[in-house]
Copies of this chain bind each other. A is one copy, B any other.
Amino acid sequence: MFPTVFRFRQTSEFLDWFAERNRTHRHRVTPVPLDALDGWASDPETGNLRHRTGKFFTVEGVEIITGRRETRCWTQPIIVQPEAGILGVLVKDFDGVRHFLLQAKMEPGNINVLQMSPTVQATRSNFTRVHQGGAVPYLEYFLAPPRRRVLFDALQSEQGSWFHSKRNRNMIVELPPDEDVPPREGFCWLTLEQIGDLLALDNIVNMDTRTVLSGLPEPWPDDLGGPGAEDRGRHSMTELLSWFTDVKAPQDLHRRRIPLAEVKGWTHTGDRFVHEEGRYFSVIGVDVEADGREVARWSQPMLAPAGRGVIAFLTRWIDGRRHVLVNARTEAGSRDIAEMAPTVQCCPANYDGRPEEERPRFLDTVLSADPSRILFDVVHSEEGGRFHHAENRYLAVEADDGVPLDAGEDHIWMTPGQLGSLLRYSNHVNVEARNLLTCLRFLRQRDR
């Protein structure tokens, strides 16, 4: 058995515990041709990939027409998962210090073995027991607990390039200090400071934990927010909302779900579904065996990106406050025209060999930044339950004078506190921006 340590004096103690778990965790992820994936099949008419139960998710096609992207019209595969699951983090004070209950969890797409996931990370199929597995631990605290205090609770979107309007319920729930939480294998309590330490390391804090923590209402460092911060920035909240309304009002996103077989420029090799030039991503199949999961073995399709992405904020001090440059971004799966995104969010390899004018704005500013201007530069993974080895460089870069204060109609400067305030209201801030905000907030930075 593993030692049942639930709190750590030092981050290094956690790292020992985590290394030990990684060493002893038994699991196997085996690539399998899509055509041979147990329980999954391509619909003979549409080519759509689906599970025999009709549950979990499907891979279908989508056609996009919009004037809001480099390309006006395209088709692509997309994951359709209409259910909203729960991503929930339990919070409790020990000796006056707030701790967060996280789980060292294996996901088949993780590039390493384990990453720290929220207390609960469950699709609706999970917690309504479609797969006949075990109950989801700690789920009861997020359903109708009598003594909890909800600190954050919003429906939040996930990767719009890969998911069709998907969202999950992000929750942070606080228990009173005298409430006993039964210990469970693989879970531990970490402080905010410890999580900040871990965010500086590659691929330890998983996507679901990062998105949930972006909703934590307090405490922000003084320069990043605080009560009443919503109008303290280059623009008032009313101006920011007006900018966002202006982006969305033309409703310039026309989207149609199409059969996967009709997606152009992509091909089903039998093994996998791939882009003909090797760009964007592939859909692959895997068999999974693992302990410590509700189900011990299963098979599933996964989306494997073609390269490592870049998710970056340009930042700048304006009137004594740090600001970040936010982009109103439309993606294939955007639920409502556009969401607020990082300054840059792309996979640079997708633009290899493309004309200069198609390169995403500010990408080269970020990639060529002098090291002295880089606040952080760390690799994190996207959700290992759907995405295979999907890594992104998360960066914050101090902008130089070449980046204007009025950066065009699709970019606007706001404070991290304003962005944090907006994300309470769902449908406003995309997952990449939320996760980058978590890094900006909790990661120990050079200038703090």
Contact = CB atoms under 8 A, between A and B. Distances in A.
Interface of A: 82-84, 86, 124, 150-155, 169, 171, 217, 228, 237-239, 241-242, 245-246, 248-251, 335-336, 424-428
Nearest to A251: B84
A238 B425 contact: no
A124 B241 CA distance: 21
Given A154-B245, A245-B426, A425-B428, A238 B217 contact: yes
17 contacts: A83-B251, A84-B250, A86-B249, A150-B238, A150-B239, A150-B242, A151-B238, A152-B238, A153-B245, A154-B241, A155-B249, A169-B249, A217-B238, A228-B228, A335-B336, A336-B427, A425-B425
B248 A155 contact: yes
A245 B237 CA distance: 22
B242 A153 contact: yes
A237 B424 CA distance: 10
A358 to B, nearest CB: 27
A239 B152 CA distance: 8
A153 B251 contact: no
A150 B239 CA distance: 7
Contact of A427 (B124, B152, B171, B427): B427
A122 B287 CA distance: 56
Contacts of A424: 237-238, 241
B84 A249 contact: yes
Contact of A241 (B83, B245, B336, B425): B425
Nearest to A409: B144
A147 B322 CA distance: 27
A55 to B, nearest CB: 14
A155 B241 CA distance: 10
Nearest to A246: B153
Nearest to A428: B425
A425 B241 CA distance: 8
A251 B166 CA distance: 11
A217 B336 CA distance: 25
Q: Top 3 A-B pairs ranked by shortest CB distance?
A: A153-B242, A425-B425, A150-B242
A154 B237 CA distance: 12
A82 B245 contact: no
A217 to B, nearest CB: 7
A100 B248 CA distance: 26
A150 B82 CA distance: 37
A80 to B, nearest CB: 13
Given A84-B251, A151-B238, A245 B428 contact: no
A125 to B, nearest CB: 13
Contacts of A155: 245, 248-249
A107 to B, nearest CB: 22
A237 B227 CA distance: 13
Contacts of A242: 150, 153, 171
